[in-house]
Structure 1
């Protein structure tokens, strides 16, 4: 879990899996004798993205270019790219578009493009054959897209943490009934006088009322629901 992103309008978006926080997803393409090595890392801050880019530049110091692009935040309000010496507009921007235009879901007739918290770096080892502007645009875009194809994307959801105080003798029963009804009980905090059940609810403006009704039924109207704030979680 992480703290709420201040002022975010979106309540959910698509991210790389949690394992991609420390271990990048890597895929290599060879195009007219040049090697294009795509790297994707899940990041939460611009500092993390820039550190990743710097690390790859150091580890591939013999490469001609290490071009990059990254998106951050639920609303994708941070977008950055770099051509790193390639002709302007032939590397960083196509990479950024490959990230931002990635289709992540949608129902019939709609398309969702909401991938974020991701940094892409494409390292190029020049093979001696010039690709031209159009060829470079396709190569860098394809390198990012092909690397994304190897990622299992997941949904990041903003949730409201709801607290319900239960008598010690009833806490176990209430928890079981909530789980049976499909409510994810995050934890049970035992105090001196009562136990607090902590339940994660989608921050959608609708789930709170239904949960309140369920608690009223379970507790015979004796329990109240209080907000414990919001957090972001990766959905299983």
Structure 2
């Protein structure tokens, strides 16, 4: 598992008009090639009367699967420029489709490259992009004398609290980036003089979207 990568959490559309040709870009999150193909087919049916539906997708936390298509446009003028935009933004698990309605004027290879890449950029401006970070759940159990110190350390380190439980002891479920797991544990142990019990849970990805914590 990689420590972090960016995804489109909420897809969006964008449009560009170049010499009366309409370039309609649609971007969606996808988890597999099957989902990407289904999305591409959905766009084809929606804009059934358009001549070109060019696409690009990148799938996998290491971008293991990446494909693009010019769909009848001159080679390297549509799919690859679209792919370059997605890759340039460091995005994964994403599919972009740009539909073109021809306006009667040829744009040339340079014009097509600018139009297809520009349409994708327009759509990305409307998307919600989230950085998925690899974290680990830590369950910290301590007496009430240690609560203030534990909460202070978590706040200072920017550690998210998933849940707090209070009975005869206080229990906290923290979501800690794997990169700082050891140092955070050491600070909790030192700050509570070894009174806190720390149990390591599962690894998972998380991110922030409009100020809200998302656990994947």
TM over 0.5: yes
Q: Distance in 1 between matches of 2:142 and 2:105?
A: 71
CA contact (8 A) 2:150 2:188 kept: no
Aligned twin of 1:214: 187
Distance 1:142 1:186, change over 3 A: same
Q: Alignment partner of 1:208: what SS?
A: helix
Q: Distance in 1 between matches of 2:202 and 2:170?
A: 18
Gaps of 5+ in 1: 1-7, 103-113
Q: Deviations over 1:175-231 (max 9, x none)?
A: 64454433211123679x866422111122xx1222122321344313332321211
Aligned twin of 1:106: none
Q: How does 1:93-104 map to 2 (within 5 A)?
A: 93-102=80-89
CA contact (8 A) 1:175 1:185 kept: no
Aligned residues: 208
CA contact (8 A) 1:175 1:197 kept: no
Q: Distance in 2 between matches of 1:97 and 1:53?
A: 18
Q: Distance in 1 between matches of 2:109 and 2:159?
A: 53
Distance 1:46 1:172, change over 3 A: farther
Q: Normalized against structure 2, the TM-score is what?
A: 0.82
Q: Distance in 2 between matches of 1:60 and 1:137?
A: 21
The equivalent position to 2:123 in structure 1, one of 119, 133, 147, is: 147
Q: Normalized against structure 1, the TM-score is what?
A: 0.76
Q: Deviations over 1:47-92 (max 9, x none)?
A: 2222211111111111111111111233222211112222332211
CA contact (8 A) 1:159 1:200 kept: yes
Aligned twin of 1:133: 109
Comparing both structures, which one devotes a greater share of its residues to strand? 2
Q: Distance in 1 between matches of 2:31 and 2:101?
A: 29
Q: Alignment partner of 1:149: what SS?
A: helix
Q: Distance in 1 between matches of 2:155 and 2:78?
A: 51
